[in-house]
Amino acid sequence: MKNFYSIVIIVVSFFLTAFTVHKIYFPVEEALVVDTRPAIEVMLPKIEAPKIEINLRDHSSFLEKIGHYESGNRYEKVNRYGYMGRYQFGQETLQALDIDVSNKKFLSSPMLQEKAMSKLLEANQRTLRRYIKKYDSKVVNGIYVTESGILAAAHLGGAGSVINWFKDGVDFKDANGTPITRYMKLFSGYKLDLP
């Protein structure tokens, strides 16, 4: 029985030493190091990096989003008021942009629709340049104003309705009841590739 207790004490001592001593050196020509610590992966909780969603706010994402709100990004879409294409242009606006084509030709040409949108953004930017310069990155009537938000609002209700909003606070609504301030908020902060 005495030998049994002696063996138990030796075994327990060995295990205690093995878990507290980090390195055991064996005398050989070159020292051989044995690491008796448990693997770090077992001791540490598993940590995963959080998923980061990058919200690109560039010109193409601006067009993608405005196309989504206007038509679900469908080039062939015509709404109940006769507005056409991805960005829902009316013939009056197309003629003002010197784009004189039939509805059928306009609807069948994504390239022509993109050209019309580009021309409209540039025309509205010229018309509203004074307001963009004065109000960009400022809060007006409780709305944080940016160039992209102003141009989106002008797309929805025309440049004149945006000017009226800055002058008189009148929040123009389109035929569907959407106010220009909604577009001003939704499309705020995009970096547009315009001259």
Helix (H, G, I), strand (E, B) or coil at 170: coil
Q: What is the pLDDT of residues 156-183, one digit of tens each?
A: 999 999 999 999 999 999 999 999 999 9
Flag whether 24 is in a domain: yes
Residue 152: CB atoms within 10 A of its CB come to: 28
* Structural domain contains residue 113: no
Q: In this structure, is residue 35 part of a structural domain?
A: yes
In order of 1, 37, 42, 118, 172, the CA distances from 14 in angstroms are: 20, 14, 22, 79, 84
What is the per-residue pLDDT across 129-164, written as a single tens digit (0 to 9) for each? 999 999 999 999 999 999 999 999 999 999 999 999
- Give tens-digit pLDDT for 110-121: 999 999 999 999
Q: How confident is the model at residue 24 (pLDDT cuts 50, 70, 90)?
A: very low
Tokens for 132, please give them.
């963009």
Flag whether 51 is in a domain: no
> Does residue 34 form part of some domain?
yes
CA distance 101 to 112: 10
Res 191: pLDDT: 95
Residue 39 lies in a domain: yes
Asked whether residue 15 is assigned to any structural domain, the reply reads: yes
Residue 16 lies in a domain: yes
User: For the chain, how many structural domains are there in total?
Assistant: 1
User: Predicted confidence band at 26 (pLDDT cuts at 50, 70, 90)?
Assistant: very low
Higher pLDDT pick, 5 / 73: 73
Domain range holding 37? 2-43
